[in-house]
Structure 1
């Protein structure tokens, strides 16, 4: 008897499910008949262009601003910007992301070309009909359409001229650079050297690599200041180098050092306000991101573009901080 009740219960449950599904699909059918496009709007709703932006590292405020600039174009243009990058600086991972973007057949790629390994991959994209713009770091020997970013050699020269002026041409200098292999850091060092080495009273006694991390920047600056206690000035080429340089100087109670560093990130601005960094070389990462998307649209719509677009680099001191560009000030 109990077994029969169980079977009847199962049958009733199945019947109820069948009736419910029938009602659901009937309603869906009626809805589709009244609005045939309602189940197939993805193609019409999708933006005209899908772009891939591949930055150096996602956990860096500088690249966050590049990404914000690019993503903000979605408010004004019919585009979707997919912003990707390694968590920490990793050229190999960037190259993998670049290859994925090519395989995905996006409409355009904006990428930082950290070294010569990027050239064949950029050329591969262009060969497959995908235009490429380099941002922040150029690959002029590749098939890229244009470059937008700082003139890093000129920015290094600007830092050199500023140090010469502020020290009256008398300084013993240590350099902490983000990377010996990254082209933009090489250019910032080269431009700086070409200016300060013209001065008889200025000598560069050491150069160390921070791997674009504040911890390593502090370690290398500490070693440098210990090995060369007569250093009077430090120059950092990465946004995080200044933070490490200040920490190293404080640990050694060397509060008399002149310091010049790149990028007006929040922590660096705070150090300028506290008179721990004398000068920042300001770049325009938000503008780089925003303009790169506008340029890509121009390329796809057959408008002419220049070979290079240089964004401004400028000197920022404590009394200039109220004029520092914030994200959203451009355009």
Structure 2
């Protein structure tokens, strides 16, 4: 009887999973057919290629810029781009979307390879004749064709060098990182640490994880500032960490005695910079990543040679830089 119930349960689960995939593939096919019908009705060219772009978080300002950069090439290249991603950062859901893209037999895939768990699927896609480009976070040991995005280790080094300069080489530092597991955050922390370790008067006393959310960044920053009241500098490795750290500083009355450096020059963070709540930001180029990823994919489609890695620019932005820009 137990065996019968087990078999029944397995069959039920398999049925619902199959239905789920069928619904997804049907919706993709219907959307593709709709685009083709619209193109034919309006005498527009039918897309030459269908690419999938899978980011970390669908409605995140940073990833929306990546998606927009890619989508802005559709007319130029006469292609269709499906921009997908989890509603909230979720590697497992990203992998499911990657697997769906492979099963949908798209012409090319651009994906953020958050960690090593993406390698088998990337290799599977390439083995099936679907070229893969990694974006924002690399999977150098996979069969991907190329990587485009920030040199995350160097970005961490830039943050460390800026902190050393602005604190005169003497500080007690707390780090709020977006994720302990995601490769790009690991590299940012490592680059930062490697620079800081060269200065005997700077020490890192705490590293906490924000899970790439403002609320948790605030909670972790507040906890470390309470536990280590001698902390006078904070470094955050993901977009929302800067906001969380400033909120924590304000709640503890520490706004005026902390040096804070964060990531990404999105509008929310730029406002913090203008208000002197953040001292510096590491600027990335998400729009350029998305835009150039399609250029590279088209080169691959045309059998042109591509390099192993393409790094987009990274720089430090301070309030003084904003003044120059506004002039």
TM-score normalised by length of structure 2: 0.85
Deviation at 1:321, TM superposition (A): 2.3
Deviation at 1:40, TM superposition (A): 7.1
Aligned residue number for residue 10 of structure 1: none
SS in 2 for 1:52: strand
Aligned residue number for residue 13 of structure 1: none
SS in 1 for 2:198: coil
Q: Map of 1:153-302 to 2, 5 A cutoff?
A: 153-255=153-255, 256-302=257-303
Q: Deviations over 1:169-222 (max 9, x none)?
A: 000000000000000000000000000011011000000000000000000000
Structure 2 vs 1, CA of residues 170 and 46 (structure 1 numbering), >3 Å: closer, same or farther?
same
SS in 1 for 2:282: strand
Structure 2 vs 1, CA of residues 125 and 322 (structure 1 numbering), >3 Å: closer, same or farther?
farther
Deviation at 1:75, TM superposition (A): 3.0
1:324 and 1:50 mapped to 2: Cα distance?
Answer: 38
Q: Quick check: 2:177–2:238 contact (8 Å CA) kept in 1? A: yes
1:97 and 1:38 mapped to 2: Cα distance?
Answer: 26
Deviation at 1:39, TM superposition (A): 11
SS in 2 for 1:321: helix
Q: Which runs of 5+ in 2 are unaligned?
A: 1-36
Q: Quick check: 2:39–2:46 contact (8 Å CA) kept in 1? A: no
Deviation at 1:270, TM superposition (A): 0.1
Aligned residue number for residue 304 of structure 2: 303
Deviation at 1:43, TM superposition (A): 11
SS in 2 for 1:133: strand
Number of aligned residue pairs: 289
The structure having more radius of gyration, on CA atoms, is 1
Deviation at 1:42, TM superposition (A): 10
Q: Which runs of 5+ in 1 are unaligned?
A: 1-36, 326-331
Q: Quick check: 2:173–2:231 contact (8 Å CA) kept in 1? A: yes
SS in 1 for 2:165: helix
Q: Map of 1:82-121 to 2, 5 A cutoff?
A: 82-121=82-121
Deviation at 1:78, TM superposition (A): 1.2
Aligned residue number for residue 26 of structure 2: none
2:39 and 2:306 mapped to 1: Cα distance?
Answer: 40
Q: Deviations over 1:91-147 (max 9, x none)?
A: 000000001100111110000000111000000000110000000000000000000
Q: Quick check: 2:54–2:112 contact (8 Å CA) kept in 1? A: yes
Structure 2 vs 1, CA of residues 44 and 282 (structure 1 numbering), >3 Å: closer, same or farther?
closer
TM-score normalised by length of structure 1: 0.84
Q: Quick check: 1:264–1:324 contact (8 Å CA) kept in 2? A: no
SS in 2 for 1:137: coil
Q: Is the aligned partner of 1:125 residue 2:133?
A: no
1:322 and 1:177 mapped to 2: Cα distance?
Answer: 29
Q: Deviations over 1:243-283 (max 9, x none)?
A: 00000000000021000011001110000000010000000
Deviation at 1:45, TM superposition (A): 3.6
SS in 2 for 1:76: helix
Root mean square deviation, CA, Å: 1.9
SS in 1 for 2:116: coil
